[in-house]
Amino acid sequence: MILSMTGYGKGSAGNDKITAEVEIRSINSRYLDIYLKIPSSFSTKEYELREFVKSRMKRGKINITVSVRKNGVENGLPVVDKEKLKALVSFIKDLKKRAKITGVIKIEHLLAFSEVFSSSGDSGEEEFELVKQAVETALSELYVMKRNEGNELGKDLKLRLKNIEEKITLIEAASRDSVEEYFRKLKEKARQLFQDLDIYNDRMVMELALIAERAEITEECVRLRSHIKFFEESLSKDEDPGRKLNFICQEMNRESNTISSKTISTEITHHSVLIKEEIEKIREQIQNIE
């Protein structure tokens, strides 16, 4: 099955007191790169969470954002001590009165007193289990999107492979006459160079035939068809075909280049150029396959 490396998933889990929300975004990458943005209270759980995601992903640049709310307050933010805050406001008012200072109390005045705030502390197993549930839901949603995009990629790739096969058929048909035509042109050129070709007839004909045979591209066409078959099998059978398909594309491009370099037929050259265009488009598409 083909999976795209790009996708988005969102998940949440919670109870009466705690709510965990997770967003996962995945884009192309040669390897698996995981970037986590989690509350500081989960810092001790980062490795475990990373390994949890690794067990379900193979390639791609993965960005994960985790947020947790306790009693409606986002985890990781300081908790306000209401009694201390009330006492602080009263203290500032009294201070202003004694110092005969006019003006209103501003938020920056209160933020300067860290005693008013207390840390929410490290999160427990209950919170982390909810985070993992939310991650699991987000990964499932991400997988569905990756699978749907992968199906569309597969359709496009198969269409391009079909186009290449059609061009190979045209090349094979044109090549039947191409080598013979090349041989005739070589003989005609030789006649122009030698006054009496009959003196060198046997040896000359053999040499010309060997030269003309070098323009034979049947083997390249056979190998190119074999690569296409291997490509299609990898699409349908391999669990993670991305890297293998890239190597197959390199071999397909190699055969196409050889056909272009060996042939003297303008028609075959044109078909070969179109094949290389399709291969290049395929290479662009498979960069997005996991």
Per-residue pLDDT of the chain (290 residues; tens, 9 = 90+): 788 889 999 999 988 888 899 999 999 888 899 999 988 778 888 898 999 899 888 888 999 999 888 765 555 555 666 777 788 788 878 777 777 777 777 777 777 776 666 555 445 688 888 999 999 999 999 999 999 999 999 999 999 999 999 999 998 888 766 556 655 665 566 555 555 555 556 555 555 444 545 556 778 888 999 999 999 988 888 777 878 898 999 999 999 998 888 777 788 889 999 999 999 999 999 888 88
Of 131, 148, 165, the domain-final residue = 148
Same domain, 24 and 137: yes
The verdict on 138 and 11 lying in the same domain is: yes
1, part of any domain? no
Residues 183, 65 within the same domain: no
Please tell me whether residues 13 and 137 are part of one structural domain: yes
Same domain, 195 and 131: no
If asked whether residues 107 and 38 sit together in one domain, one would say no
SS3 122: coil
The answer to the question of residue 2 being in a domain is no
Do 218 and 205 fall within a single domain?
A: yes
- At residue 210, the pLDDT reads 47
Q: Are residues 88 and 219 in the same domain?
A: no
pLDDT at 70: 76
Residues 133 and 111 in one domain: no
Element (H, E) at 65: strand 60-70
Range of the domain at 45: 7-75+123-148
Same-domain pairing of 135 and 221: no
> What's the pLDDT at 10?
95
Q: Where are the alpha helices (DSSP H) in the chain?
A: 46-54, 82-99, 107-111, 125-193, 201-213, 218-237, 242-262, 266-286
Q: What is the total count of domains within the chain?
A: 3
- Cα–Cα distance for residue pair 285/246, rounded to 1 Å: 10
